[in-house]
């Protein structure tokens, strides 16, 4: 058997092995059966939902006139002070999506802290003002970006405690909404997610 045929046979075996590895798709509800002591999709979803409900039921929101334009919101720093490696934007974008759907907020992508991201195309498109290859009538004029009125910031904290042969892990999701003009806090909330497992469980 020549070398070319051997390689083809080897690749075919790898392909068939991969196909029979037992990997399958899970419905998001069914995936709760396979949770760990660390943070997962359901924890982020729960923390986001609870924080949004707290915000939308707050006195600040109830006092916002529906006749006024939506408040412009920027995502500021959200510190991940846990042993989990995840992007905090997973949390903030779920929250700001529901905030926008309420009709009382709109999100700016012109500026953000560590808890969000900016759209690089905003600045890149404005660099076209210096490039004669672009029709200058189609380039964005100066002074059109809208500055944020509110800032969403937060911190996620993890605390591990041994309880006999078990390990308890507390996660604190702390979020704050600040009026940028005055610096005053208009809303803040804390969501706690508590898990317990074997001391052998690893929470990172």
pLDDT of residue 1: 53
Alpha-carbon gap, residue 69 to 191, rounded angstroms: 29
CA 185 to chain centre: 21
* The pLDDT of residue 157: 97
Say what the pLDDT of residue 198 is: 82
Region of 90 (left: φ > 0; alpha: ψ -120 to 50; beta: rest) is: alpha
Q: What is the mean pLDDT of residues 152-178?
A: 94
Domain range summary for the chain, segments of one domain joined by +? 37-64+71-130+151-204
Place of tokens 């910031």: 153
Give residue-wise pLDDT tens across range 62-90: 888 766 799 999 999 999 999 988 899 99
Count of Cβ atoms closer than 10 Å to residue 72 Cβ: 16
Residue with tokens 């690089």: 120
Given CATH 3.30.70, say whether it is the number of domain 37-64+71-130+151-204. no
Q: Which residue has the higher pLDDT, 5 or 201?
A: 201
Q: Kindly report, residue by residue over 95-134, the tens digit of the pLDDT.
A: 999 999 999 999 999 999 999 999 999 999 999 999 999 9
| Tokens standing for residue 31 | 């995936």
Selected residue with higher pLDDT from 132 and 202: 132
Asked if residue 116 lies in contact with residue 89, where contact means CB atoms within 8 angstroms, the answer is: yes
Contact 89, 117 (CB under 8 A): yes
**Structure confidence at residue 28 as a pLDDT band (50, 70, 90):** low
Report the mean per-residue pLDDT for the chain: 87
Q: What's the Cα-to-Cα distance from 45 to each of 91, 92, 140, rounded to whole Å? A: 7, 10, 37
124-157 residue pLDDT tens = 999 999 999 999 999 999 999 999 999 999 999 9
Percent of the residues in the chain that have a pLDDT greater than 90, as a whole number: 68
């Amino acid at each position: 058997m020549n070398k070319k045929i051997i390689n083809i046979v080897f690749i075919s075996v790898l392909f068939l092995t991969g196909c029979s590895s037992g990997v399958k798709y899970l419905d998001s509800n069914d995936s709760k059966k396979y949770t760990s002591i660390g943070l997962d999709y359901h924890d982020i979803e729960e923390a986001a939902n609870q924080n949004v409900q707290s915000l939308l039921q707050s006195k600040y929101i109830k006092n916002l006139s529906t006749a006024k334009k939506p408040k412009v919101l920027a995502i500021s720093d959200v510190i991940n002070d846990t042993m989990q490696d995840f992007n905090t934007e997973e949390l903030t974008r779920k929250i700001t999506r529901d905030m926008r759907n309420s009709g009382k907020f709109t999100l700016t992508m012109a500026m953000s802290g560590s808890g969000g991201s900016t759209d690089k195309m905003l600045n890149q498109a404005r660099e076209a003002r210096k490039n004669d290859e672009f029709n200058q009538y189609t380039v964005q004029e100066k002074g059109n970006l809208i500055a944020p009125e509110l800032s969403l910031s937060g911190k996620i904290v993890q605390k591990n405690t041994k309880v006999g042969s078990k390990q308890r892990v507390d996660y604190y999701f702390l979020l704050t909404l600040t009026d940028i003009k005055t610096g005053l806090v208009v809303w803040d909330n804390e969501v706690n997610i508590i898990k317990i497992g074997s001391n052998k469980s690893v929470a990172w």
